[in-house]
Amino acid sequence: MNEAYVNEEVKDGISTIEFFHTQSNSLPGDILNKLAETIEAAGKNNEVLAIVLRSGGDRSFCAGASFDELIAIENEAQGKEFFSGFAKVINAMRTCPKFIIGRVQGKTVGGGVGVVSSMDYCFATKFASIKLSELAVGIGPFVVGPAVERKVGKAAFSELAIAATEWRDAKWAQEKGIFAHLYDNVEDMDKAIEAFIQVIKSYNPQAMAEMKKIFWEGTEHWDDLLLRRAQVSGTLVLSDFTRNAINSFKKK
């Protein structure tokens, strides 16, 4: 695997959506937009009962925003456009009428934590540590913050956001409600997901769609909120502080 992609396979009523990037499954703008479009299309597909969202490879689940793309941003409009990609993905997951089942095999950083927090039910391995690193590079988890806070609560979100250089292990994430189940290895996780999918397939699709609305009740304003947050991030990414911090991280 040497090229970035977003792929979808629909089989026996289940849409499996996989994204991949050579840089630890980071998320440049084109991948974010394609991911949002694919989730939206799966939600409208009458043949799809549920969605499994996963990333490629056997190491990191998602490294968050692409540093190469962040450092290339030249103005506020470009900055807002880039961070709007995360808003599009989260809102696509939020409004999708199908349950989104997560498969998280490894570490997740920054924007990836927002994606994981937007899953309706998530399986992970014990290696799936998480970190909200945005403040460490001069930005802040503005766009993904509402999704993370909705899942873990304001206190835990504040802890993650402020301790931007510290990892929280998978057990912590499970205790806070991000992960439903943890497994010692990918093989055991995949077996559990397959068994769970068989249960999901027996549910009434209309009932699942109505439950999805209840799960996300009170987030109807996120279409506007997340775009406004994208504007904040898009402005901050242009600062000398942020550019120097990103360049420092890239050299590590």
Q: At 208, list the tokens.
A: 């699942």
Q: Is the pLDDT of residue 133 over 90?
A: yes
Report the sign of the C-alpha dihedral through residues 48, 191, 151, 89, in that order.
negative
Q: What 3-state DSSP class applies to 66?
A: coil
Give the pLDDT band of residue 248 (cuts 50, 70, 90): confident
Q: At 77, list the tokens.
A: 């409009």
Q: What is the mean pLDDT of residues 12-35?
A: 96
d(C-alpha 100, C-alpha 103), whole Å: 10
Half-sphere exposure of 183 (CA within 13 A, CB side): 16
- Kindly report the average pLDDT of the chain as a whole number: 96
How large a percentage of the chain has pLDDT more than 90? 94
| Listed range (61-70, 124-133, 175-184, 188-197) with the worst mean pLDDT | 61-70
What domains can be seen in the chain, in order of their start residue? 5-200 (3.90.226.10)
Span 110-123, pLDDT tens digits: 999 999 999 999 99
pLDDT of 190: 98
Contact 151, 177 (CB under 8 A): yes
Span 61-81, pLDDT tens digits: 999 998 889 999 999 999 999
Q: Which of 102, 142, 137, 138 is nearest to 119 (CA)?
A: 102
Span 185-217, pLDDT tens digits: 999 999 999 999 999 999 999 999 999 999 999
Q: pTM, whole model, 2 decimals?
A: 0.96
Residue 180: partners with Cβ closer than 8 Å, 6 or more residues away = 121, 122, 123, 174
Q: What's the CA angle centered on 180, arms 188 and 6, to 5 degrees? A: 70
DSSP string, 128-190: --EE--GGGGT--STTTHHHHHHHH-HHHHHHHHHSTT--B-HHHHHHTTS-SEEESSHHHHH
Span 212-238, pLDDT tens digits: 999 999 999 999 999 999 999 999 999
d(C-alpha 66, C-alpha 161), whole Å: 19
Half-sphere exposure of 70 (CA within 13 A, CB side): 28
pLDDT of 247: 84
